[in-house]
Structure 1
Amino acid sequence: MQDFYFLTNNLFTSYTLQEEFPKLYDFKQDLTPIFSQIQALYDEAKFDSQNEHQFEDDFISKVLEILGWHTIRQEEKIIQGKLEKPDFLLFSSKETKKSYEKIPKSSRPSSNSFINVILESKAYNVAIDNKKVKDNPHFQILRYLSNLKLDFGFLTNGRLWRFYDNSKLSSQKIFYEINLEAIIQKNDIQAFRYFYFIFNAQNFIATAKIQEPIQTLFAQNTTAKTKIEDDLKSLIYGINGKDSIFEKIGSCIYTKNPTLSLDEVYQNSIYFIFRLLFIAYFEDKFSPLLQKHSYYNDHISIQNLLTIAQNNPDKHDALVKLNWIFSIFDKGEPNYDMPIFNGGLFDTTRSKALNTPKLFSNQDLYEILQISFSSH
């Protein structure tokens, strides 16, 4: 199972990363020569003393060339009456770059024709997201994309590389960010694939019969999201012929915590449901990978609880085991080769009523798990 230590992402689902990436892109391709070229360029000590332009010359522009891009640097654009100079305009082929260069110079400042991606780069030690509203590179690249009406942007300081899809507006910060420095330091060729296949020019080239790989990936990602949403609705609310686990869980929480408000019962029920659904989806969709995992199926899988919960219905040992599983997803367990699943879903401080002793009997859990896992 891939450890995504190098990735910060809320653009693609976990299923898309684990299952669709290796299918869409040629993960069997030998990327060693390409990885070695980029590793040879990487010099932290030198980068540390360079300004932005020097760093672009020595690293960014050379990496883009390795990735197959044809570039124009510091091209002037008139955006809403203001002069802007994106660091790089990226073209996926010589032909598209030549087509752009044939546009009359007087028209080019307001044109977005033939441009595949805009890249904004910063010096090695400059944060690409300083958490500010003003003078934040994150908002700078989004402004370029919005004003030029382009969908795709890259933002990098060489260490971190972000990919943005601006085709769908959102109030949240949505991106796919690779820590290339960490990958280089670990000499991790498998992790490098998650950098290379997204940021290389081929990902943005369409043919007469096949759309750009990146568009195929987005379509698959949308399908995965829809499937998750449908599963959630069916299980939580008991639609599509499914029994509702919401009422069952809420009833158990309120019985043991009669002083809780209805809102608190609701919030704790939602946390418990989402934890179960997260694990159920994870175990179902990544089953082939988990079969190869040294410990997961024998020691961690939540499906083992069905056997425990079925026996001694009035006891609570299944709940003890379940809380231990939740703890592993929350904090990780290196002895079992289990990474941390970030996001706070399994954080016990956010759902204190779920820490109530003897909250669910074995019989209660058996009924809940039967409903949760029967649709997976």
Structure 2
Amino acid sequence: MQGQLFSTDFLLRGITETEPWRALTETALDAFIAQLQTLYAVYHVDSALNESQTEDELIEPVLAQLGWSDSWLSQVNLSQTGREDVPDFLLFADPATKTRALAEKDDRRALHGIALLEAKRWMRLLDRSEGKVGSNRKSRDFGAPSSQMLRYLSRADVMSDRAIKWGILTNGALWRLYWQDARSRAEDFFEVNVAAALGVTGIPQELDGPQNRHALKLFFLFFHRAAFLSQSWDTQRRSFHAIAQAQARWYEEKVSQNLGQRVFDEVFPALANALIASDVEAVKDPKGRYNREYLEELREAALVLLYRLLFVFYAEDRRLLPVTDSRYASYSLSELRDKAAQALDSGKALSGTAATYWSVLDDLFLIISQGDDQVGMPAYNGGLFERTRAPILARVRVPDVRMARVIDALSRRIEDSTKPRINYRDLSVAHLGSIYERLLEYTLVQETTEEGKTTLLARPASFARKVSGSYYTH
């Protein structure tokens, strides 16, 4: 399951509360999966199917299983002149609408459509060009298939008078859904690896994806003809896609708000207290460690550390860092967050002296800053990971008992009884930026507890934001 059109939280949990999910019976889903298994059973990763064979043997039969029988036309030209914009299929709401479209001239048939489908040969890469046009390729089949789909959608938006907003791109194994009005059309698609979910020989399973049955249920719900139509059970008569988008945005906002509040109330002050407790310079001068100058230095160090963590969470979940490379995996924050969760859930004793979590983080930040070809990591050019950025971070070693809790608080939705993992892929840069911007307005204040111990709390301050904090946008 790839792409960012719908949030992971919604696809794994929120969708189970929707009417179409509940209405699809286990018997009906079993029958659908059985039909797909029959269609895909004879293929493996290296099966030699050209585009035409893939369409005939796989894509058209799958479309029929998805409710599109007799509701498509092939090779409809979206251009008034030439044949540069000719998607493989124009999809209609029903056979009657298709009949009306057939009465129109070719360049007006799009007015009756609800979606496009572009088919590629079996297992063709969808985000990479295959070079120059040759004798084995259609002259219009240029560039990466994903770019071609975006071009077709833009053209269809015009030719259909904005009726067509959705496009399906498939190589038989991967099925992608694109939306014309997405914030970032190149990234905001929804992809299901149908072949992997069916266990096609030679195609690896998605290790961090949903269970196969769940993935195939998502495939049915999002690619079925009914998903493109207005829903009778919805008071606003929206399509299932529109409902899913609204629900996904709600989940995204909920996760962002809860994470932000946790950062302000718990994580930021916990980091500050952990750093001051581990700082040898502060220990040397216990009376002076709470002066304004030192607290400002401590605040800056806590901000830098916090945003390093948020940056890596985001970059790993969005595959901007090489988390799928086994050489990098053992150094990753992804592996460390799993370790922290397991330790805390099992009640494992965590050292108040040893700093194994801190050591992994310190090494990881160094790898990101300098790059490391041995683990597949290019150097990051921003200033966030420079070791001179915050001197306190270079001289402390935060013990496991503190660091594991900080990592876990940023890793899971601990307000939920099931503590689901936060997938930072679902959070935009703007969401993370807003958290950081608000933190710049907080200062550290000293408070004495009922037990007579001194602790640090984060409180909003009246001072202006520092320009030095703007590196989150780099």
TM range (shorter): 0.5 to 0.7
1:269 aligned to 281, 299, 306, which one? Answer: 306
- Matching residue of 1:173: 187
CA distance in 1, matches of 2:185, 2:36: 35
Gaps of 5+ in 2: 132-141, 158-163, 202-211, 282-296, 315-337, 361-376, 378-383, 388-392, 417-474
Q: Percent identity?
A: 22
- Matching residue of 2:6: 12
Comparing 186-195 with 146-155, greater Cα deviation is found at 186-195
Cα gap change, 1:172 to 1:120, in 2 (>3 Å): closer
- Matching residue of 1:59: 58
Cα gap change, 1:176 to 1:362, in 2 (>3 Å): same
User: How far does residue 233 in structure 1 lie from its aligned partner after superposition?
Assistant: 3.3
- Matching residue of 1:143: 151
User: How far does residue 142 in structure 1 lie from its aligned partner after superposition?
Assistant: 0.8
- Matching residue of 2:178: 164
Cα gap change, 1:46 to 1:72, in 2 (>3 Å): farther
Q: Give the length in aligned residue pairs.
A: 316
Residue pairs, 1:5-44, within 5 angstroms: 7-24=1-18, 25-26=21-22, 28-30=25-27, 31-42=29-40, 43-44=42-43
- The amino acid across from 2:179 in the alignment is D
Pair 1:85-2:86 in alignment? yes
Could you report, residue by residue, the CA deviation over 1:90-146 in whole angstroms, capped at 9, with x for unpaired residues?
1232233234334x31xx415532322111110114212217896100010011112
- Residue 13 of structure 2 aligns to a residue whose secondary structure is helix
- 8 Å CA contact 1:268, 1:351 repeated in 2: no
Residue pairs, 1:74-223, within 5 angstroms: 74-78=75-79, 83-102=84-103, 104-105=104-105, 108-110=106-108, 112-130=110-128, 135-149=143-157, 150-170=164-184, 172-185=186-199, 188-207=212-231, 210=234, 211-223=238-250
- 8 Å CA contact 1:256, 1:356 repeated in 2: yes
- The amino acid across from 1:36 in the alignment is A
Gaps of 5+ in 1: 1-6, 278-296, 325-343, 345-349
Q: TM-score, normalised by structure 2?
A: 0.54
Which of the two has greater helix per residue? 1
- 8 Å CA contact 1:120, 1:156 repeated in 2: yes
- The amino acid across from 1:54 in the alignment is Q
Cα gap change, 1:71 to 1:139, in 2 (>3 Å): same
Larger radius of gyration: 2
CA distance in 1, matches of 2:77, 2:414: 58
- Residue 112 of structure 1 aligns to a residue whose secondary structure is helix
Cα RMSD of the aligned pairs, angstroms, is: 4.6
Could you report, residue by residue, the CA deviation over 1:268-288 in whole angstroms, capped at 9, with x for unpaired residues?
3224467899xxxxxxxxxxx
CA distance in 2, matches of 1:261, 1:111: 65
Pair 1:359-2:398 in alignment? yes
Comparing 81-90 with 197-206, greater Cα deviation is found at 81-90
Could you report, residue by residue, the CA deviation over 1:243-264 in whole angstroms, capped at 9, with x for unpaired residues?
3633552574586599x99988
- 8 Å CA contact 1:92, 1:205 repeated in 2: yes
- Matching residue of 1:337: none
CA distance in 1, matches of 2:241, 2:143: 29
Could you report, residue by residue, the CA deviation over 1:21-73 in whole angstroms, capped at 9, with x for unpaired residues?
22221354321222222221223269833321122112111110111012111
Cα gap change, 1:301 to 1:166, in 2 (>3 Å): farther
Cα gap change, 1:74 to 1:367, in 2 (>3 Å): closer
Cα gap change, 1:264 to 1:98, in 2 (>3 Å): farther
CA distance in 2, matches of 1:357, 1:208: 60
- The amino acid across from 1:61 in the alignment is E
Q: TM-score, normalised by structure 1?
A: 0.67
